[in-house]
């Protein structure tokens, strides 16, 4: 079960435990009852994880990014996907991985199956091992990550003579980003 916390109340520290009350919106009522019923009849241990809610990019920002990639592609005679992937590689979020060289093709195919921005690049090969950069697609980006991507695409658009939104309108798009 995953839910957004309204607030935490009634915190009590015992000798070896902590008790607290988590307040959720009533729309989670059924989920809570199902989890509580399962826990009462189950001998397995359960875990809880509390983390900050991450803001995600808006569809308006995402669509604008693709619109600019298309216009840039027309100007430079390249597919919009090439423009998008170039910008992902330049400013996108990534992780570095090391794996058996024999595993790289299958990993890259599966990673890339997540979407057009899910790219892999080999950065080093030593013996039986290969180091990769695995880029995350923009569908997973936070506000800050998507902002970097849009700023990069806008910069490229301006450099090839593609008209972009005025800065104040870009600020509105960025300010409108909400969780999805």
What's the whole-model pTM score? 0.67
**Percent of the chain at pLDDT exceeding 90:** 51
Per-domain boundaries in the chain:
1-53, 59-175
pLDDT tens-digit profile of 126-161?
999 999 999 999 988 888 888 899 999 999 999 999
Mean pLDDT of 168-174: 81
Q: Are 122 and 131 within 8 A, CB to CB?
A: yes
The average confidence (pLDDT) of the chain is: 89
* pLDDT band, very low/low/confident/very high, at 20 (cuts 50, 70, 90): confident
């Amino acid at each position: 079960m995953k839910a957004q916390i309204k607030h935490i109340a009634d915190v009590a520290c015992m000798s070896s435990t902590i008790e607290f009350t988590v307040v959720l919106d009533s729309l989670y009522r059924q989920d809570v009852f199902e989890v509580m019923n399962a826990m009462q009849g189950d001998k397995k241990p359960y875990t809880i994880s509390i983390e900050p809610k991450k803001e995600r990019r808006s569809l308006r920002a995402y669509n604008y990014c693709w619109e600019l990639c298309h216009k840039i592609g027309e100007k430079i005679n390249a597919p919009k996907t090439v423009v998008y992937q170039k910008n992902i590689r330049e400013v996108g979020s990534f992780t570095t991985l090391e794996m058996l060289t024999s595993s790289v093709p299958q990993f890259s195919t599966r990673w890339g199956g997540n979407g057009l921005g899910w790219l892999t690049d080999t950065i080093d090969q030593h013996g039986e091992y290969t180091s990769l950069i695995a880029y995350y697609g923009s569908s997973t980006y936070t506000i800050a990550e998507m902002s970097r991507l849009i700023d990069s695409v806008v910069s490229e658009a301006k450099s090839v003579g593609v008209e972009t939104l005025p800065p104040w309108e870009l600020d509105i798009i960025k300010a409108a980003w909400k969780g999805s």
